[in-house]
Amino acid sequence: MEPATGLKTAEFQLADRVNRISASPTMVVLAAADQLKAKGVDVADFGPGEPDFPTPEHIKRAGIKAIEENRTKYTPVPGLAALRQAICDWHARELKSSYQPAECLVSVGGKHAIFNAVCSLINAGDEVVIPAPYWVTYPDIVKYAGGRPVILNTRGEENFLVRASDLEKLLTPRTRMVIVNSPSNPSGAVIPQDEFQKILALCQRKDVWLMSDECYSHFTYGDAKPYSIASLANSKPGLIIIGSMSKTFAMTGWRIGYTLAPQPLIAAMTKLQSQSTSNPTSIAQYAAIEAMRGSMDSVPVMLAEYARRRERIVAGLRAIPGVTCNAPSGAFYVFPNISANFSKDMPNDTAVAKQLLEREQVAVVPGEAFGAPGYLRLSYATSMERIDEGLRRLNRFFSNVK
């Protein structure tokens, strides 16, 4: 007899918590572009959200040395004591905070750090306010935890400014957390320091956790400088800082991220981590110690290259009919508005992205994925030569749509 759960059919029942979330739309685009590339198609790929630079040599050496010295055993669940200390020291030096190792947890990337924090704090029905455009993962993690994402729409005409006064209008007695990301993926917007301070003050006044995702902290342009809200005196209560080695040190595959937060929250997150992943990979932790303690000379070199590409891609996009584009203040993405090009056959950004891939083999992520219809996200973590080729194709595509 067929079991009631349908285990022998393709329609077996999955847990509600996993049915509440969807596969990352950025991963879907990457997969479609990869399939074309595997067939030998020349794709102008603006999809990837990762540096195109290799991990700096001295960091790789530290990983290799760790293997050779057999540092391949379990480590303490929250990370090596030396790494937790190194992260606190680095954050204090670079971003003017004052955390102790007991307030630091090392996880399997920044994404895992966010997952641990949200799952440790959010109960069914709790509301989490997230400004849009947002990094695709935030709402899904909140939903997985049983919470309800509440979206604050910001405006491209205002450079996607997140205002404390706008956030305040969305706070209810059920609000448990606000998540901000500066510099932002996907818009590249940076929250001005005075506004950031108002956001923290609002959260503290309303007893709401503030999660600040700093994964792109060191990639800023023009007047914007690396900044952490944790540099403010008395900022620690209710503040969760999320950081990552992935972008700053071109270490996406090593999977090391961290949380800085009040010790009781770190203890709860460590408990959760102890029953799921345990420690992040030991050898990656040794490489991360070198990232935190060693030379940071490679960072300005990468930043200078991103800055050059940013100039080129913003100018190139602005020259395309029906496209407007803010100059991003940080990260390595541009987020042009292409809605003036919508038509009956191409009524939204998802349709534009699909046709761009089909007709011109250009891979971009539609703004809808980030809660911002009308836009496309292009990563400029790709060579100047590929940027120029992609711009040529985009120009041809949009010049022919009408």
Interacting residue ranges for ligand PLP, rule: CB under 6 A: 49, 109-111, 135, 181, 185, 213, 215, 244, 246, 252, 257
Query: Cβ(256)–Cβ(222) under 8 Å?
Result: no
The helix (run of H) or strand (run of E) holding residue 122 is: none
Q: How far apart are CA 262 and CA 163, in angstroms?
A: 25
Q: How far apart are CA 71 and CA 79, in angstroms?
A: 13
How near is the Cβ of 340 to ligand PLP at its closest, in Å? 27
Residue 400's contacts (CB-CB under 8 Å, 6 or more residues apart) are none
Q: How far apart are CA 194 and CA 203, in angstroms?
A: 14
Nearer to ligand PLP, 210 or 320 (CB): 210
Residues in the chain: 402
Comparing CA positions, the residue from 354, 326, 357, 284 lying closest to residue 75 is 284
| Cα atoms found within 13 Å of the Cα of residue 239, Cβ hemisphere only | 25
Q: How far apart are CA 356 and CA 393, in angstroms?
A: 9
Q: Which amino acid is at 390?
A: G
Nearer to ligand PLP, 51 or 147 (CB): 51
Query: Cβ(128)–Cβ(149) under 8 Å?
Result: yes
Q: How far apart are CA 301 and CA 125, in angstroms?
A: 45
How near is the Cβ of 346 to ligand PLP at its closest, in Å? 27
How near is the Cβ of 44 to ligand PLP at its closest, in Å? 20
Nearer to ligand PLP, 296 or 401 (CB): 296
Query: Cβ(47)–Cβ(33) under 8 Å?
Result: yes
How near is the Cβ of 241 to ligand PLP at its closest, in Å? 12
Nearer to ligand PLP, 55 or 341 (CB): 55
Nearer to ligand PLP, 176 or 247 (CB): 247
Query: Cβ(273)–Cβ(115) under 8 Å?
Result: no
How near is the Cβ of 183 to ligand PLP at its closest, in Å? 9
Comparing CA positions, the residue from 314, 262, 291 lying closest to residue 94 is 291
Nearer to ligand PLP, 105 or 323 (CB): 105
Rg (CA), the chain: 21
How near is the Cβ of 47 to ligand PLP at its closest, in Å? 12
Nearer to ligand PLP, 111 or 143 (CB): 111
How near is the Cβ of 154 to ligand PLP at its closest, in Å? 15
Q: How far apart are CA 152 and CA 130, in angstroms?
A: 6
Nearer to ligand PLP, 26 or 326 (CB): 26
How near is the Cβ of 171 to ligand PLP at its closest, in Å? 23
